[in-house]
Amino acid sequence: MAELAARAILLLVCVLLGWGVVRQFMVVKAATMALDHLAIVPQWKFFAQQKIDGNPEAFDDFHLLVRTGRADAEPGEWHDLLYYGERRLRHALWNPRHGSRSLIMHHGALLTWTEPERAAQPSALSYLTVLRFCLDRTALEPGEVLQFAVAITCGRTARNPRLRFLSAWHCP
Amino acid sequence: MIASEALLRASCGLLGLFGLLRGAQWLADLPRWAAGGALGWDLQGLRRGIKGRSALLARTYAPTGLRILAILLMLDSALLLTLPLGAITLALLAAALVLILLLGQRSIPDGADKMATIVASGALLQALGVMAGNHTLVLAGGLWTGGQLTIAYFAAGASKLVLADWRSGVAPRGALSSYMWGSKLSAWGVSKSGAAFVLGWTVMLLETLFPLALLLPAPWLMVVLAGFFLFHAVIALVMGLNTYPWAFLAAYPATIWLGQALRAALALG
C-alpha cells in the first residue's frame, strides 16, 4: 500500500514536471496564476516575458511622483516619492525592503497597463495601494490635497520623465 | 556516489540558510506591512478570491501574525541548519514549507520563494523516503527538486532565445542599464560595444544547455553548479535579488542526486 502511494506521488511529480515544461512557453492566464504562485507548476521566465520583445519601454524605470495643492492656488512641484536609486553593495547580502518596494511599484506599474491580454489588470486595489502609500509619506496641512503620477525614465541617459498615469486630487 | 542522506542533509542546511535570511528580512521590513499602511491586510485583503475572503488569513497576515510567522521561520530554519537528520526533520521541513508558502503569499512570491517551496516539498518527500526506506519516495523528491531546477535554468534560457530583443542584445542592455534592475557598474559594462550581445548569448546558451550537465560525473556537475551559483551571486550584486542565490543553492544537492540517478539509469558509470 505504501509503495502504491509512493508510486502515485512519483507519477504526480512526473505529470507536474511535464506540464511545467509545456507551461514555460504558454501565456499564463490570471485564473491559473495560483499554480505559479504556489510553486505547483511555476514559470521560470526571468526577464523573458513575451511582452518585452519589441517594447522599447520594457526595462524603463518607474517613478512615483506626488504634488500637493490647494483649491485656491496653483499646484506645487512634482516630487519623486518612490524610485530606484543607485544599488548599494550591501543589497547583495541584505535587502529587506526589496519586496515591499517592488510590490508598491508593481501596483503603480499596473495602473499604466492598458492591454487587455495581460494576466494582471489595473484595479481599484492598485490605485488605493499607491494612494495610501502617497498619503503615508506626504505631510499634508489642513486644506491641502494631493495628486500622484506614475512616470517612466529610460536608463541613465534619457532621464526626462514621461507621464504614464495621473491620479485625481485626494485629501486624507 | 554521494549518499542520499548526505545530500538531503545538505538540502536541509541550505534551506535553513535561506529561511534565516528570509525571516530576518521580513522582520526588518514589518512596519511597511502594518495595518493602515499601503500594504496592510485591511487594504490588501480586499483582493478578489480565496485569499481576500479568508478570515484565518486575515488574522495570519495582521502585523502580529506576520511577526510570528517570520520568527517561526527563523527558528525552524536554525533547527534545519543545525540538527542531524531524524524524525524531527520531517516536522521541520513540513513547517518550513507552510511558513515559506504563507509568507510568500502575503506578497507576490518571487522566484526565490517558489524555488524554496519546491526545495522544502522535495526534501520532505526525500526525508519521508529515507526514514521509511522507500526508494520511490526518495526518487520522487529528488526528481521534483532537481527537475524543477533543471526546468528553471532551461526555461530561463530558452524563453530568452525566442525573443529577438535578447538575441540582439537590446534586452540585456536595457535591463542592466536601468536603475530598477541594474547598477552603475553593469550600466557601464553593457555600454561597451558588443558587450550586451556577448553577455546575452552567454547567459542564454549556458541556461539552455544546463540539462546536459546532469549527464556529467558528479564532480563536474558540481563545478557547473558552482558556476551557476556565482551567476546568482553576481545577479544579487547587480540587481539586489539577494535571496535567489540561497534558494537556488538549496536545490543543488537534489540536482546532484538526480544527475547521479540519471547516470546510473543510463549506465554512464
Per-residue model confidence as pLDDT tens digits over B48-107 = 666 767 888 888 999 999 999 999 999 999 999 999 999 999 999 999 999 999 999 998
Question: Does A135 fall in a domain?
Answer: yes
Residues 125-144 of A with CB under 8 A from B: 125, 128-130, 132-133, 136
Q: Does B163 contact A13 at a Cβ distance shorter than 8 Å?
A: no
Q: Give the residue from B148, B150, B234 with the most A CB atoms within 10 Å of its CB, the best one to mutate.
A: B148
Nearest to B242 among A7, A85, A94 (CB): A94
| Cβ atoms of B195 and B185 closer than 8 Å | no
Cβ of residue B171 closer than 8 Å to a chain A Cβ: yes
Query: Helix axis angle, B195-208 relative to B218-239, nearest 10°?
Result: 140
Q: Are residues A76 and A97 in the same domain?
A: yes
State the pLDDT at residue A129: 95
Q: Are residues A25 and A75 in the same domain?
A: no
| Cβ atoms of B141 and B126 closer than 8 Å | yes
**Lowest-confidence pick of A52-61, A135-144, B7-16, B140-149:** A52-61
**Residues on chain A touching B242 (C-beta within 8 angstroms):** 91-95, 98
State the pLDDT at residue A118: 53
pLDDT of A57-82, one tens digit each? 888 999 999 999 997 888 999 999 99
Q: What is the mean pLDDT of residues A34-51?
A: 89
Per cent of chain A over pLDDT 70 is 94
Cβ of residue B120 closer than 8 Å to a chain A Cβ: no
CA distance B252 to chain A (A): 17
Q: What is the mean pLDDT of residues B245-253?
A: 98
Q: Are strands A145-154 and A158-166 parallel, antiparallel or unpaired?
A: antiparallel
State the pLDDT at residue B18: 98
**Lowest-confidence pick of A10-19, A150-159, B58-67:** A150-159
pLDDT of B192-221, one tens digit each? 989 999 999 999 999 999 999 999 999 999
Q: Which helix (H) or strand (E) holds A142?
A: none
Q: Give the residue from A32, A37, A90 with the most B CB atoms within 10 Å of its CB, the best one to mutate.
A: A37
**Pairwise CA distance, residues A78 & A163, whole Å:** 12
Please tell me which residue of chain B has the smallest CA distance to A100: B32
Neighbours of A128 (CB within 10 A): 15
**Does residue A145 carry a pLDDT above 60?**
yes
Question: Does A58 fall in a domain?
Answer: yes
Contacts of A110 (CB under 8 A, 6+ apart): A120, A121, A122, A123, A126
Cβ of residue B229 closer than 8 Å to a chain A Cβ: no
Q: What is the mean pLDDT of residues B157-186?
A: 94
Q: What's the number of domains chain A is made of?
A: 2
CA distance B192 to chain A (A): 14
Band of residue A107 on the pLDDT scale cut at 50, 70, 90: very high
**Pairwise CA distance, residues B101 & B105, whole Å:** 6
Cβ of residue B203 closer than 8 Å to a chain A Cβ: no
Q: Give the residue from A11, A47, A154 with the most B CB atoms within 10 Å of its CB, the best one to mutate.
A: A47
Q: Does A53 contact B160 at a Cβ distance shorter than 8 Å?
A: no
Quick one: DSSP state of residue A101?
H
State the pLDDT at residue A68: 95
**Pairwise CA distance, residues B157 & B146, whole Å:** 17
Q: Does B179 contact A85 at a Cβ distance shorter than 8 Å?
A: yes
Question: Does A171 fall in a domain?
Answer: no
| Cβ atoms of A102 and B38 closer than 8 Å | no
Question: Does A31 fall in a domain?
Answer: yes
Q: Are residues A115 and A30 in the same domain?
A: no
**Does residue B183 carry a pLDDT above 80?**
yes
State the pLDDT at residue B235: 96
Please state the three-class secondary structure of B14-65 as a single string. HHHHHHHHHHHHHHHCHHHHCCCCCCCHHHHCCCCCHHHHCHHHHHHCCHHH
Q: Are residues A79 and A162 in the same domain?
A: yes
Domain extent, residue A157, equals 50-166
**Pairwise CA distance, residues B201 & B188, whole Å:** 18
Question: Does A44 fall in a domain?
Answer: no
State the pLDDT at residue B48: 67
Question: Would you list the DSSP string of B92-155?
Answer: HHHHHHHHHHHHHHHS---HHHHHHHHHHHHHHHHHHHHHHT-HHHHHHHHHHHHHHHHHHHHH
Nearest to A59 among B107, B163, B181 (CB): B181
Quick one: DSSP state of residue A170?
B
State the pLDDT at residue A31: 77
Q: Are residues A77 and A156 in the same domain?
A: yes
Q: What is the mean pLDDT of residues B105-117?
A: 94
- Sequence length of chain B is 269
